[in-house]
Amino acid sequence: MKLDLNSTVTLNNGIKMPLLGMGVWKSANKTASQSVRWALKHGYKLIDTAKQYGNERGVGEGLTKGLSENGLKREDIFLTTKIFNGDEGYESTLDAFDNQLKNLQTDYVDLLLIHWPVSGKYNETWKALEKIYNEGKAKAIGVSNFNVERLTDLLSEATITPAVNQMEFHPLEQETDIKNFCDQNDIQLEAWSPLGGGEVLNNPQITNLAEKYNKSTAQIILRWDMQRKIIAIPKSTHEKYIQQNTDIYDFELSNEDVQLINNLDLEKRSLWYGNFAWNGNPDGIKDTIDEWDD
């Protein structure tokens, strides 16, 4: 399978989305700005942020500077952001999104997601996303952290099928039921926390594969994502690792080794969120913005 940093998947509305990108969760504004500039320097085309991260302003600054520094145009980059939980609802979503665009220093995003399925509000919020999409302010719209029940409910009222569902996805949590549902409904799965933290990176079977292919465990996992056509957005604030995460195109996992990783699934989420039961503030999930630093 021939892949490179420009490899894309085609979403259900015909838009092409890069398979590999960079996330900025838990990055301060200054850090996010620098990380985005490094990402563009090393050839990334996909940048993922969210209002809840508190760093859209930093991402916007990094994007503006990074485009200039690397001779790129806005249309060369695929930018994703998300609707904040506290902004969900029809009018509130529309009002908040205009301000998000200002912070991101752009007049459109390539992908706009509902960050979490807030009970009693996500269908109303989706109608706002459909309006944003129809106005051209988002090239594609989708959801994040939606299980099969919530997706089914959304589809029963939606006039536009979500293009993407962004989920925690890594070798120990492969969201099989959700992925199957997304495949059946032409919804692209995207992985947040694709490296799954220390337990995944230190898994002995993945460590053995890293030795076999002379790669890091992170590179093995990201290559596995690519070969399964799962979009991955690893987060790093270090230029060295931002660059290393792209060094996954000079080798290919065998079918047997892809299956070996497939078999590691324990349905083990690193982040507990009440089995998707959203009632305003489930365990472990904030409904506040993480950071407002300068």
- Asked if the model's pLDDT at residue 231 lies above 70, the reply is yes
Please give the full DSSP string across 80-109, using - where no structure is assigned.
EEEE-GGG-SHHHHHHHHHHHHHHHTSS-B
Nearest to 41 by CA among 81, 5, 75, 16: 5
% of the chain residues with pLDDT over 90: 86
Query: What pLDDT sits at residue 276?
Result: 45
Residues 53, 90, 133, 273: which is the catalytic one? Answer: 53
At residue 173, φ and ψ (nearest 5 deg) are -145, 95
- Asked if the model's pLDDT at residue 273 lies above 60, the reply is no
Model confidence pLDDT, tens digit, residues 18-49 = 999 999 998 999 999 999 999 999 999 999 99
* Residue 199 binned pLDDT confidence (cut-offs 50, 70, 90): confident
What is the average pLDDT across 88-98? 97
Quote the pTM value: 0.93
3-class secondary-structure state, position 188? strand
Query: What pLDDT sits at residue 282?
Result: 43
Out of 188-197, 200-209, 238-247, 264-273, least confident range: 264-273
Whole-angstrom Cα distance, residue 138 to residue 130? 9
**Average pLDDT score, the chain:** 92
* Residue 197 binned pLDDT confidence (cut-offs 50, 70, 90): confident
Integer CA distances (angstroms), 289 to 86, 136, 152, 197, 285, in order = 9, 26, 28, 23, 11
* Residue 271 binned pLDDT confidence (cut-offs 50, 70, 90): low
- Asked if the model's pLDDT at residue 285 lies above 60, the reply is no
Q: Is 122 a catalytic residue?
A: no
* Residue 70 binned pLDDT confidence (cut-offs 50, 70, 90): very high
Nearest to 77 by CA among 94, 100, 59: 59
What is the average pLDDT across 219-240? 97
Residue 264 has, within 13 A of its CA and on its CB side, a CA count of 23
Q: Domains in the chain, start-ordered, CATH in brackets? A: 16-192 (3.20.20.100)
Model confidence pLDDT, tens digit, residues 145-176 = 999 999 999 999 999 999 999 999 999 999 99
Model confidence pLDDT, tens digit, residues 129-144 = 999 999 999 999 999 9
Q: What is the DSSP letter of 173?
A: B
